[in-house]
């Protein structure tokens, strides 16, 4: 485990990412550099040098679809109108309209979120590239978290400078429609048959944009990897069951998020009817005129709906064969559940408080009270160094995330579909290290952006920097070759139902065989 103070990594010291404090000086330097321009299918755009490394070219706020407001609301994405002259691509585009992050999220996360204004004219993407040449570099396309109701591709922690300069890849981040605007199924009231998946169709159109344009940015359209975290992982796995996305990407990574099935069509239509009743509108035309703030207030359970573009779930009722040829990395973090303030990070005063914490926990609350002591004893044998509240952190994490990772890996590999599994266990520095490795923690290491994610990471040490280099290399090599590998890191075997091999990512990264089954068996017994 990472001790943080004055630690030295076995992978050696790494050049840190440039901190925000140097941005002004870099802007002054790079302003003198030649403005990079690229001709896309819609027209010419002018980008800029990255404020963190002048050798990386950045293009922000590139439109890949038309304004989704007015008559385009709830419709599949429409094409961009070509422009004349050169369009500036040096500022993030608007984020798509969605909810803010709920108040029970860790406040540390707020420092890293995109603060761009929100609007319906939001189908924008961002590109980082080492050079706009014919380099045919692997392309990594990132889908943000926030479920299907919040977030954007503009968070500073998604900056692609370090991936571009250190791994020689092209990075793309994407904004797409969220919530009711992206996932309201209006097919039963005269709306578009695919209105329930408009947000996912945005993503498909963004991937088509990559196919049509990324070569001009030095990328290879035949080596595209989609990856995302939390809701972004759900979007990645949803793509595995969308026929319209077939062939638009060649590998996939889902971090701490898996879409198992989809919202049944009837349920999606019922939600739409309830929202329309709440808003007092009778038809789609009236709904298209409702202010976005009223749509947000109307509520609803939003996500991909079974329909024409998404005919079935990727893993329910079984593994979809559509993307059997797409290698997939999946995984989760050691203490996912502490990301939410409903899971304690401090010792509890007595047994009654512990039982109350279990009962209130959204992930472990279904465990009968009479089974908790036996479950804690079982987990205590596996983790003898952990206090009871820390065991609850792991139990809640397993109930929410670890169990579905193992089940999905078993099912997919059992169907002959190449799958690798990781477990991110590097303790983070925020809250005096009490958080362990919570939900979202791996993002800073995947992007090698520790200095842009210090609200959660804390002050990065040598172990952090070494692990960031290692993780980003595994991901980038996977994008390049379809096989995850990293210089200085252990070989990462494919998961099979027999070996259940897991790459544990921490200060002493290594491969473990079947590390989850004993505790998941105990959890399953306690739930019954």
Question: Where in the sequence numbering do the catalytic residues fall?
Answer: 230
Q: From the CB of residue 334, how many other CB atoms can be counted at a distance below 10 Å?
A: 22
Helix (H, G, I), strand (E, B) or coil at 25: helix
Q: From the CB of residue 470, how many other CB atoms can be counted at a distance below 10 Å?
A: 23
Number of H helices, E strands in the chain: 16, 16
Q: Are the beta carbons of 154 and 126 closer than 8 angstroms?
A: yes
Nearest to 68 by CA among 236, 201, 190: 201
Q: What angle do CA 133, 138, 142 make, to 5 degrees?
A: 110
**Total count of residues recorded for the chain:** 528
Nearest to 141 by CA among 205, 254, 227, 234: 227
Distance between CA atoms of 124 and 449, rounded to whole angstroms? 22
Q: Are the beta carbons of 34 and 466 closer than 8 angstroms?
A: no
397: left (phi over 0), alpha (psi -120 to 50) or beta: alpha
- When computed from its CA atoms, the radius of gyration of the chain, rounded to whole angstroms, is 23
DSSP letter, residue 33 = S
Nearest to 38 by CA among 162, 172, 131: 131
Q: From the CB of residue 317, how many other CB atoms can be counted at a distance below 10 Å?
A: 9
Q: Are the beta carbons of 48 and 30 closer than 8 angstroms?
A: yes
Q: Are the beta carbons of 166 and 472 closer than 8 angstroms?
A: yes
């Amino acid at each position: 485990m990472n001790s943080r103070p004055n630690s030295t990594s076995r992978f050696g010291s790494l050049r840190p990412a440039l901190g925000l404090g140097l941005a002004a000086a870099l802007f002054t330097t790079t302003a003198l550099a030649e403005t990079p321009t690229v001709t896309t299918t819609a027209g010419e755009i002018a980008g800029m040098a990255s404020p963190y490394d002048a050798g990386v070219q950045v293009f922000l706020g590139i439109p890949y679809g038309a304004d989704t407001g007015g008559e385009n609301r709830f419709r599949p994405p429409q094409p961009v109108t070509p422009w004349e002259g050169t369009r500036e691509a040096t500022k993030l585009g608007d984020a798509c309209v969605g909810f803010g992050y709920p108040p029970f999220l860790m406040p540390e996360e707020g420092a890293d979120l995109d603060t761009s204004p929100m609007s319906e004219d939001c189908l924008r993407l961002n590109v980082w590239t080492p050079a706009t040449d014919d380099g045919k570099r692997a392309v990594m396309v990132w889908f943000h978290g926030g479920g299907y109701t919040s977030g954007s591709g503009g968070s500073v922690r998604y900056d692609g400078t370090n991936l571009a300069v250190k791994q020689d890849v092209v990075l793309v981040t994407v904004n797409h429609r969220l919530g009711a605007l992206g996932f309201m199924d209006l097919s039963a009231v005269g709306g578009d048959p695919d209105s329930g998946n408009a947000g996912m169709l945005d993503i498909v159109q963004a991937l088509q944009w990559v196919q049509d344009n990324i070569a001009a940015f030095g990328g290879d359209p035949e080596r595209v990897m989609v990856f995302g975290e939390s809701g972004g992982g759900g979007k990645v796995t949803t793509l595995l069951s969308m026929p319209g996305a077939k062939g638009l990407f060649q590998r996939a990574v889902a971090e701490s998020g898996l879409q198992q099935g989809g919202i049944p069509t009837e349920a999606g239509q019922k939600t739409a009817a309830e929202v329309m009743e709440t808003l007092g509108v009778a038809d789609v035309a009236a709904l298209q005129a409702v202010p976005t703030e009223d749509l947000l207030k109307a509520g609803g359970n939003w996500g991909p709906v079974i329909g024409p573009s998404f005919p079935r779930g990727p893993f329910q009722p079984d593994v979809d064969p559509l993307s059997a040829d797409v290698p997939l990395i999946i995984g989760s973090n050691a203490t996912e559940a502490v990301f939410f303030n409903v899971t304690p990070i401090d010792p509890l005063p007595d047994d009654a408080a512990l039982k109350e914490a279990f009962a209130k926990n959204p992930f472990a609350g279904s465990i009968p009270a009479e089974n908790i002591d036996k479950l804690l004893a079982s987990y205590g044998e596996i983790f003898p160094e952990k206090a009871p509240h820390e065991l609850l952190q792991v139990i809640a994490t397993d109930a929410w995330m670890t169990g579905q990772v193992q089940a999905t890996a078993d099912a997919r590999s059992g169907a002959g579909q190449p799958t690798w599994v990781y477990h991110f266990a590097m303790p983070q520095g925020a809250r005096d290290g009490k958080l362990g490795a919570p939900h979202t923690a791996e993002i800073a290491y995947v992007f090698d952006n520790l200095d842009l994610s210090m609200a959660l990471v804390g002050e990065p040490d040598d172990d952090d920097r070494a692990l960031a280099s290692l993780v980003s290399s595994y991901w980038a090599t996977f994008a390049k070759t379809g096989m995850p590998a990293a210089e200085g890191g252990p070989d990462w075997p494919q998961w099979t139902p027999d070996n259940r091999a897991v790459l544990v990512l921490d200060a002493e990264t290594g491969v473990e065989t079947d590390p989850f089954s004993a505790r998941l068996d105990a959890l399953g017994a306690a739930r019954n």
